[in-house]
């Protein structure tokens, strides 16, 4: 049941009516049931796995809080960590481990096969695992008291707007919103509709219409015959596709919450206008970046160590962040490249970031910094999207080495017509740049007109094929 399907919107209409019209306790029960239906729509067996996580963490959270001795509290926290990360390891990384074990065994002449061809990865397991982990860890740290209602805790974990692809919402932010129902104002409705329409536009009009050209560009057969211009355009299209797809989903989820009178954290803040790689990670998948910072990077020592240890902390965080996205070596390489980039950036900047509003004289330098960061991000997206290292090597060869062979291929620009799909994202980023650098703010009238235009384009440019949200696989 995808956000861009008629089935979902009929489902949401019923769920919304129950949430707003029933007494609040009954409304929460109805929202929990609706969330279970929503998640079970993909595969009912997934409910057993998420149900097990809910039961374990609800029980463990209470035990952590009640434990009188630090050693016992740590033991219960370890129980939560082992359970949740163990399930994630088995169900998400089982096939990855099997493939590598098979390859390693065959290197030594053993004819074995540990591959798990028919293995099904539960939708959204990475997202709800991090949510439940944050609950246990926050209780352990004394930042949160255990939820007394099993129903409310279950609703926090399985709440359907953000269940399968985020944003990652923490218990201390969402559980207090289940205490009493907030009044739904006109502003909530306006912001919710605006966020939903923008999200659907990014997904249906931009991301889905770029999907076929990105697929052809990154196919193993097609990559080897690309001209440099075609290769760069293909990577640019993927960078826009993955932003529009994931930011679109997050926008819809945030808008759905607004219409229900709830608040979700922002997950994207126009990342392609970043002037440093560290700034990029404060704008891209913000809920994951903050989760990795608070529950991994800082516990490792964060910035409060010697330079070498800080670099190690960064690399560990980004490598695991890459592996979180997918069970494959090329995702690990993508995270490692970002970790290396952050280490280099920190070494040259001595840990200082200049992100204030630039003066007129500083504008050329700031735009140059923005361009450098964008090109680096584009290059690393190759490893994210490629099927393997050989495929990534072919794409990088087309992008960086083929021009030196004198074959730019300016004439072969059959995919340049798709640049029109890039324009909405460029306009959105420039609008944010104007807000941050000049102080320009969109008026209500401008926002209403922009929403109306996107809604109109949704009706005439909707694709006639289905493209699953990219982050469903993570």
Whether residue 439 lies inside any domain: the answer is yes
* pLDDT tens by residue, 21-56: 999 999 999 999 999 999 999 888 889 999 999 999
Q: Looking at the structure, do residues 55 and 156 belong to the same domain, yes or no?
A: yes
In the prediction, which pLDDT does 448 show? 85
Query: Reduced to 3 states, what is the DSSP secondary structure of residue 149?
Result: coil
Q: Is residue 58 within 8 Å of 147, Cβ to Cβ? A: yes
C-alpha pair distances (Å), 366 with each of 355, 362, 371? 9, 6, 9
Nearest to 297 by CA among 271, 283, 278: 278
Catalytic residue among 188, 285, 325, 338: 325
In the prediction, which pLDDT does 102 show? 83
What domain range includes position 106?
A: 6-181
Phi, psi of 396 (to 5 degrees): -65, -35
In the prediction, which pLDDT does 351 show? 45
Nearest to 280 by CA among 345, 198, 235, 329: 345
Distance between CA atoms of 335 and 435, rounded to whole angstroms? Answer: 30
Query: Over the Cα atoms of the chain, what is R_g?
Result: 23
Last residue of a domain, one of 165, 181, 197: 181
Nearest to 454 by CA among 254, 185, 193, 162: 193
Q: Is residue 422 within 8 Å of 213, Cβ to Cβ? A: no
Distance between CA atoms of 208 and 248, rounded to whole angstroms? Answer: 11
Distance between CA atoms of 333 and 330, rounded to whole angstroms? Answer: 5
Distance between CA atoms of 114 and 393, rounded to whole angstroms? Answer: 27
Q: Looking at the structure, do residues 138 and 39 belong to the same domain, yes or no?
A: yes
Q: Looking at the structure, do residues 109 and 154 belong to the same domain, yes or no?
A: yes
Determine how many CB atoms are found less than 10 A away from the CB of residue 228: 20
Distance between CA atoms of 460 and 474, rounded to whole angstroms? Answer: 31
Residue found by looking up tokens 């735009």 in the block = 367
Q: Looking at the structure, do residues 36 and 128 belong to the same domain, yes or no?
A: yes
Where does residue 328 rank: exposed (0-12), middle (13-18), buried (19+ CB within 10 A)? Answer: buried
Residues in the chain: 474
Residue found by looking up tokens 């890039």 in the block = 422
Q: Looking at the structure, do residues 130 and 260 belong to the same domain, yes or no?
A: no
Whether residue 295 lies inside any domain: the answer is no
Q: Looking at the structure, do residues 54 and 145 belong to the same domain, yes or no?
A: yes
Q: Looking at the structure, do residues 164 and 209 belong to the same domain, yes or no?
A: no
* pLDDT tens by residue, 290-319: 999 999 999 999 887 788 899 999 999 999
Residues of the chain with pLDDT under 70: 220, 222-224, 350-355, 406-414, 462-466, 471-474
Distance between CA atoms of 276 and 358, rounded to whole angstroms? Answer: 14
Whether residue 312 lies inside any domain: the answer is no
Where does residue 287 rank: exposed (0-12), middle (13-18), buried (19+ CB within 10 A)? Answer: buried
In the prediction, which pLDDT does 187 show? 87
Whether residue 320 lies inside any domain: the answer is no
Q: Looking at the structure, do residues 360 and 433 belong to the same domain, yes or no?
A: yes
CB-based contacts of 38, cutoff 8 Å, min separation 6: 1, 11, 160, 163
Last residue of a domain, one of 181, 204, 228: 181
User: Which is it for the CA torsion 235, 240, 241, 242, positive or negative?
Assistant: positive
Whether residue 307 lies inside any domain: the answer is no
In the prediction, which pLDDT does 66 show? 93
Q: Looking at the structure, do residues 61 and 208 belong to the same domain, yes or no?
A: no
Query: How many domains, in total, are found in the chain?
Result: 2
Distance between CA atoms of 223 and 220, rounded to whole angstroms? Answer: 6
Whether residue 338 lies inside any domain: the answer is no
Bond before 160 cis per omega within 30 degrees: no
Q: State both tokens at 448.
A: 């209403």
User: Which is it for the CA torsion 466, 381, 379, 250, positive or negative?
Assistant: positive
Cα 285 versus chain centre, distance: 5
Q: Looking at the structure, do residues 217 and 239 belong to the same domain, yes or no?
A: yes
Whether residue 124 lies inside any domain: the answer is yes
Nearest to 195 by CA among 260, 150, 124, 281: 260
DSSP 62: H
Q: Is residue 279 within 8 Å of 355, Cβ to Cβ? A: yes
Distance between CA atoms of 322 and 345, rounded to whole angstroms? Answer: 19
Q: Looking at the structure, do residues 112 and 203 belong to the same domain, yes or no?
A: no
Phi, psi of 276 (to 5 degrees): -155, 160
Q: Looking at the structure, do residues 118 and 83 belong to the same domain, yes or no?
A: yes
Whether residue 84 lies inside any domain: the answer is yes
Q: How far apart are the first and last CA of the chain?
A: 17
Q: Judge whether 325 counts as a catalytic residue.
A: yes
Last residue of a domain, one of 125, 148, 181: 181
């Amino acid at each position: 049941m995808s956000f861009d399907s008629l089935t979902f919107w009929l489902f949401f209409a019923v769920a919304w009516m129950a949430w707003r019209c029933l007494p609040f306790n009954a409304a929460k029960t109805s929202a929990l049931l609706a969330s279970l239906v929503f998640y079970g729509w993909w595969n009912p067996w997934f409910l057993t796995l998420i149900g097990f996580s809910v039961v374990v963490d609800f029980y463990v959270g209470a035990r952590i809080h009640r434990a009188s001795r630090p050693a016992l509290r740590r033991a219960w926290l370890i129980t939560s960590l082992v359970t949740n990360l163990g399930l994630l390891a088995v169900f998400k990384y089982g096939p990855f481990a099997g493939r590598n074990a098979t390859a390693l065994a065959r290197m030594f002449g053993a004819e074995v096969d540990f591959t798990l061809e028919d293995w099904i990865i539960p939708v959204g397991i990475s997202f709800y695992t991090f949510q439940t982990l944050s609950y246990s860890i926050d209780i352990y740290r004394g930042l949160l008291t255990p939820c007394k209602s099993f129903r409310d805790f279950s609703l926090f974990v399985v709440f359907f707007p953000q269940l399968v692809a985020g944003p990652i919402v923490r218990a201390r932010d969402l559980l207090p919103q289940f205490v009493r129902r907030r009044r739904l104002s006109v502003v909530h409705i306006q912001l919710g509709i605006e966020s939903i329409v923008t999200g659907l536009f990014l997904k249906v009009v931009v991301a889905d219409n770029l999907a076929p050209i990105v697929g052809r560009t990154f196919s193993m057969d097609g990559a080897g015959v690309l001209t440099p211009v075609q290769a760069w355009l293909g990577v640019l299209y993927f960078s826009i596709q993955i932003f529009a797809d994931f930011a679109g989903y997050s926008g819809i989820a945030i808008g759905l919450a607004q219409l229900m009178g709830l608040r979700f954290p922002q997950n994207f803040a126009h990342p392609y206008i970043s002037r440093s790689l560290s700034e990029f990670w404060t704008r891209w998948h913000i809920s994951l970046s903050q989760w990795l910072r608070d529950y991994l990077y800082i516990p490792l020592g964060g910035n409060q160590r010697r330079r070498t240890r800080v670099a190690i902390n960064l690399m560990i965080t980004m490598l695991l962040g890459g592996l979180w996205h997918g069970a494959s070596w090329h995702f690990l390489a993508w995270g490692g490249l970002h970790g290396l980039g952050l280490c280099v950036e920190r070494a040259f900047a001595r840990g200082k970031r200049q992100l204030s509003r630039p003066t007129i004289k500083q504008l050329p330098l700031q735009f140059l910094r923005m361009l450098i960061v964008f090109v680096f991000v584009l290059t690393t997206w190759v490893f994210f999207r490629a099927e393997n290292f050989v495929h990534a090597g072919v794409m990088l060869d087309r992008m960086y080495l083929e021009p030196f062979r004198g074959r730019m291929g300016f004439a072969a620009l059959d995919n340049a017509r798709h640049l029109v799909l890039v324009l909405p994202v460029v306009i959105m980023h420039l609008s944010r740049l104007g807000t941050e650098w000049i102080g320009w703010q969109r008026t209500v009238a401008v926002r209403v007109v922009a929403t109306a235009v996107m809604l109109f384009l949704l009706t005439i440019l909707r694709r006639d094929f289905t493209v699953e949200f990219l982050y469903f696989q993570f």
